């Protein structure tokens, strides 16, 4: 079988080989880009969320606009932490933050915990308690359980606890049935 394929490739004009190789590469790049895209929060994948510590609100801008805002902040306050200017209160009190996928509120991203390995959800909304990271982890673990591939010893304790809580609450019944 491999010999026949090799013969066909050798007999085909070079442009056919290049077209097939180009198509395979384009599909592979498309799959990788799709997998790396963040979950939607109502904007483009490159959008940046800002949280204003003064007026306790936030906003979303494109990556280019965020870069311009942070440059402006660095010029306005040289030698200090770059805080963007809030369009609502007009003060340099905005830091890069997060936007909750569930309630849409903006909040400050907490510092990393636990050194190299996380010990909590960094995107947990202080307003409604939703965490997209937790949601994806629980869904993946429940899918593994349904397929018989779940091994609790291979995941951190805080993820195991989230999976157990989700099973008790019955919140993820749609995943467990699949």
Using a cut of 0.75, tell me whether the model's pTM lies above it. Answer: no
CA-based torsion, 31, 37, 39, 42: positive or negative = negative
Q: Which helix (H) or strand (E) holds 50?
A: strand 48-52
Q: Is 114 left (phi over 0), alpha (psi -120 to 50) or beta?
A: left
Q: What is the tens place of the pLDDT at every residue in 33-81?
A: 544 444 444 457 789 999 998 998 999 999 899 999 888 888 888 888 7
Cα dihedral 138, 143, 146, 149, rounded to 10, equals -100
Domain boundaries, the chain: 48-108, 132-177
- Res 151 pLDDT > 50: yes
Gap between the Cα atoms of 141 and 145, Å rounded: 6
Per the listing, tokens 């997998």 go with: 35
Within a 10 A sphere around the Cβ of 56, how many other Cβ atoms? 12
The Cβ-side half-sphere exposure at 53, using a 13 Å CA radius, reads 9
According to the model, what pLDDT value does residue 74 have? 86
């Amino acid at each position: 079988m491999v010999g026949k394929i090799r013969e066909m490739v050798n007999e085909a004009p070079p442009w056919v080989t290049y077209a097939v190789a180009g198509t395979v590469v384009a599909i592979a790049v498309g799959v990788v880009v799709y997998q790396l895209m963040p979950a939607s929060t109502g904007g483009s994948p490159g959008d940046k969320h800002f949280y204003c510590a003064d007026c306790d609100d936030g906003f979303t801008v494109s990556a280019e606009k965020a870069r311009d805002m942070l440059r402006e902040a660095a010029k306005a306050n040289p030698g200090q932490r770059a805080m963007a200017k809030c369009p609502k209160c007009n003060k340099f009190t905005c830091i890069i933050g997060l936007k909750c996928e569930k309630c849409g509120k903006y909040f400050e991203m907490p510092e990393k915990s636990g050194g190299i390995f996380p010990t909590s959800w960094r995107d947990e909304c202080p307003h409604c308690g939703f965490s997209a990271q937790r949601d994806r982890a629980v869904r993946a673990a429940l899918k593994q359980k349904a397929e018989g591939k779940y091994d609790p010893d291979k995941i951190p304790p805080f993820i195991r606890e989230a999976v157990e809580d989700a099973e008790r609450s019955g919140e993820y019944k749609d995943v467990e049935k699949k």
